[in-house]
Structure 1
Amino acid sequence: MAIPEGLAVSDPSIVKSSETPPFPIERYLPKVGEDARIAAASTELIKKCMAGFQLQYQAPSASPETLDSDENGANRPRRYGISSISLAEANGYHLPKEFLGDKTKAQLAPHMSEAEQKVFIGDQDPLVGVKAGDKVNGKVIPQGGCSGEAQRRLNIKPRQRMAEKINNVSFVRSQENPQVKKVFQDWSSCMANSGYSYKTPLDPLEKIVGSSPTPAEISAAKADVKCKDSVNLTGIWFAVESKIQDELIARNEETLNSDSKEFDALVRRASNELATS
C-alpha cells in the first residue's frame, strides 16, 4: 500500500474541527449498528442452542440506539483529537459519557458453569476438554459448541478487512505527509503561544489522567480546538488523508466491493434472524 511521498493537495477547503466531512472509505466501513445486529442475532441463536441442553446463556443486550447507529470506524469526532469547544469545556480531553456507553448494561456475562462452558465453546478451546461426540444432559455438543453453531447458521466469515486496513493505513500515512507535518508545526506553535508544549494533536490524548478533567486540562483542550481552527489543521489533514484513501480505494475497489456484498448479506441474515426470534 505504498503512497507517493510527494502527494499534495492544492487549496484544501477550510474545515472547522467540529464539522469533519465523511471520509471516502466510510462507504465501505461497517456501521456500529450493523455489527451490533450481527452480535445480537448470534446471541439469540446461542440462547436457543443452549436451551436445547437445558442451560441458559446470558449476554449484554445492545440498546436500540446502538442497533440503529450509523457510526463507523472512521471515528470522525475524535479522529484528529478533540474537535469541539463544547466538548472541551465539558470533558477536556476525556471521552464524553455517550462515547463510553452505559456500563451498567455492558457488564460481562456471569461466570459459566463447567457444563455451560462445554456447550458454549465446544471443541474450539482444547482447555475445555470437549471431544467429538461428547454429551451434556444427554445431547451431543455441536462442533464448536453453540457459539460455533451460531456462526455457521449466520455464515459468519472473517469480517471485511480491506476497508478497515485502508482506514488505518491512511491515518498513519497521512501523518508522514509534508503538508500535514507543516500544519502540525503551525498548530504546535499556536499551542506554545498559549503555554502548551505538544508536537502533534494526538500527543495530549496520551497524557489523560484521572476519571474526570481538571481545569488545566479543560483550558488546554479549548486552546487545542481554537488552534486547530486557526491553522485549518482539520481541513488540511482531511484533504490529504482523503486523497490517500481515494488512491487506495481505486487500487482495491474489486476487493472492497466483494467484501461489502458479503457483509451486507450477513447483515440481512442477522436482521432476518432477529425478526423471527
Structure 2
Amino acid sequence: MATPPPHRFAPLRLSAPIALVLTALTLSGCADSDSSESAGDPIAIGEISKITSAEQLSFPLDAYELTPAQSRQLELAQDQLVVKCMTAQGFQWAAPERPPVTEANRHGRRYGILDEAEARQTGYHGAPQTDRGAKGREEGQDSSETAQKAAGECVLKARAQLNGKKSMDKADTTSDTYVEQLIVQDAERAEQDPQVRKAFAKWSDCMSKAGHDYDDPWASNNDPEWGKSETATDSERRVAAADAACKISTNLAGVWLAVETAYQERTLETNAEALAQAKKDNEDRIRRAAAVLGKN
C-alpha cells in the first residue's frame, strides 16, 4: 500500500478529536473566545518576521503543551507499568520499541514544507520511516485474545496512575488533550483569517508562475497523486520544491505565524485559569512518570 504524504496538523501529535468534552477542565472559555469579533474579520497582529525554516516556529501555547521528550517520558513510564501489570498476571509481555525523539522537529511541517533542498530530495513524503512504532503486536508480547484484553485493562490502570486518578476509561481525556484542542482551534481560525487567505493567494500566484495550479499549500501537500507512490516521484519533488520556494519568497509562513500567534495570545487571555491548571496537571504527570522510571 502506498504511503500518503503528511497532512495538516500532523505535527501537533493530536491524541483526541476536538469535539471531546473534558471532564477535569472547562472549555467554556473556548466557546466564547470569538465573541468580540465577527466572522471574517482579521485579527490584529504584531510584527511579521521573515520565516525561512520550521526551526524558527514557536507559539505562545508551546509552554502549555508537552514537549516530544515529555510525551516520550510518559509513554515509557506507561510501558513499564503495563509490563509490570501483565507479568504479574503471568503473561509474557515486553515494552514496545519506540523511535528516537528529537526536539528539533517539534513543529516540523506545521505550515507544510519550508526547506527547498529537503523538498527536492523527499518531496512531501519526508524521509522513510524505518523505526518501529508502539502500535500493533510487538515481539515479546503474548498475542492471545486473553492477553490482549488484559493489556487493554493494564493500559487504563497505567494511565490512571500517571494522571493521579483511581481509574480511567477509554473515553477519558487528559490535560494535554485540552491544550491540543485549543491549538487546533486557533490553527483553524488562523487559516480562515483574511490576512492568511491573502498570503495563500500570493503563494498560489507564485506557484502558478512556476507551472503548478493549487489554491493553497494544503492542496499541493495533500494532492491525491502523491499517495499513489511509496516514495516521492520527480513530479512531486518539483512541486514540493516550488512550494517551499514560494513560501519563502512570499513569506507565507511569516504572515501565518503572526496571525496564529495573535489567536493563541487571545486564547491565553480567555482561558488563563484553565490553561494554568492544565500546565500544573502536565507537570504532575511528568513527575509521576519520572518516579515510575526512577524505580526501574
Match of 2:163 in 1: 155
Q: CA deviation at 1:105?
A: 7.4
Structure 2 gaps, min length 5: 1-29, 166-172
- Give the SS at the match of 2:108: coil
In 2, the alpha carbon distance for the partners of 1:11 and 1:108 equals: 49
Select 2:221's aligned residue among 205, 229, 241. 205
Q: TM-score, normalised by structure 1?
A: 0.80
Structure 1 gaps, min length 5: 122-144
Q: Which one scores higher on RCO, CA 8 angstroms, separation ≥ 6?
A: 2
2:203–2:252: 8 Å Cα contact kept in structure 1? Answer: yes
Match of 2:235 in 1: 216
Q: CA deviation at 1:247?
A: 0.4
Select 1:70's aligned residue among 103, 118, 126. 103
* Greater C-alpha Rg: 1
Q: CA deviation at 1:270?
A: 0.8
What are the Cα deviations for residues 71-120 of structure 1, in whole angstroms up to 9, with x where unaligned?
A: 68xx52211111101210110111223xx461377663356224423533
Q: CA deviation at 1:147?
A: 2.9
Sort the Cα spacing of 1:60 and 1:156 in 2 relative to 1 into closer, same or farther, 3 A. farther
Match of 1:179 in 2: 195
Match of 2:122 in 1: 91
Aligned residues: 247
Query: Where do 1:30-179 residues align within 5 Å?
Result: 30-63=66-99, 65-66=100-101, 69-70=102-103, 75-97=106-128, 100=129, 102-103=131-132, 108-109=137-138, 110=141, 112-121=143-152, 145-155=153-163, 158-160=173-175, 161-179=177-195
Q: TM-score, normalised by structure 2?
A: 0.76
Moved more, 2-11 or 169-178: 2-11
- Give the SS at the match of 2:263: helix
In 1, the alpha carbon distance for the partners of 2:75 and 2:108 equals: 25
Sort the Cα spacing of 1:176 and 1:39 in 2 relative to 1 into closer, same or farther, 3 A. same
Match of 2:208 in 1: 192
Q: CA deviation at 1:60?
A: 1.3
1:37–1:267: 8 Å Cα contact kept in structure 2? Answer: yes
Give the root-mean-square deviation of aligned CA atoms: 2.3
- Give the SS at the match of 1:202: helix
In 1, the alpha carbon distance for the partners of 2:104 and 2:283 equals: 16
What are the Cα deviations for residues 205-256 of structure 1, in whole angstroms up to 9, with x where unaligned?
A: 2112211111121111111111111111111111011001100111111111
Sort the Cα spacing of 1:167 and 1:46 in 2 relative to 1 into closer, same or farther, 3 A. same
